Amino acid sequence: MQVLTPRIALELIAHEGLVPEAYRDVAGVWTWSVGITDASGHRVHPRYRDNPQPLEHCLAVYLWALRTQYLPPVLAAFGQHDPAEHELGAALSFHYNTGAIRRAEWLRLFLAGDRDGAREAFLNWSRPAAIVPRRKRERDLFFDGAWSGDGCCTIYEVAKPGYRPTGGRRQDVRAIITRLLQPEPQRPTVTQVPDPDPRCAAAPKRSRNWFERLFD
């Protein structure tokens, strides 16, 4: 079964862009990083209002959201079909944008063997009109394996007092994404911890990894 890969994460982020501090989306919902809201389980407001974060932290939380909130329902929707990397990447991007993978007719048709019908039905999810280019890229990735991301992310600033995204600069984030997706080395399991020797100085506290710091 496929898992989240750098190529998938980079493809999706190319569609979304990134904002390092909290902003209001078109519906007025406080949003941050790569389209993350409080609904993800990671508190956005007021944590990131007027508080821009380092790019690595923004991307770490984005990858956490993909893995925990979006990847499981997408994999479940495929049922017995083991998706190829390009199929999973397109479906994950679709679900990240719509939240509708479980009721998407195009996936039902694909799983039933009707590729032509599925390709046509993919564009049923094309509102508002501004989403059409993204939907076509997702369709072409799913059915033709045509990747469109180049490893770069568009990073926006926040215009105040309205807190709307503005501007936009391109930055290559391949190295950060690849590093964050590398599994941490296995540590030996400690079955028994001896009592501390009072003659020894207190041991320094262990530094927490990036995943533990997400929920500060």
- The residue behind tokens 């190295």 is 175
Which CA distances in Å does 109 have to 30, 105, 106, 115?
Answer: 36, 6, 5, 7
Q: Are 148 and 137 in contact (CB under 8 A)?
A: yes
Domain layout of the chain by residue ranges: 6-184+195-213
Enter the pTM of the model: 0.83
Please return the burial class of 93, using the count of CB atoms within 10 Å of its CB with bins 0-12, 13-18 and 19+.
buried
Q: Whole-angstrom Cα distance, residue 30 to residue 43? A: 10
Q: What is the pLDDT of residues 99-139, one digit of tens each?
A: 999 999 999 999 999 999 999 999 999 999 999 999 999 99
Q: What is the pLDDT of residues 147-204, one digit of tens each?
A: 999 999 999 999 999 999 999 999 999 999 999 998 765 555 554 554 555 554 444 4
Domain 6-184+195-213, second-level architecture: Orthogonal Bundle (1.10)
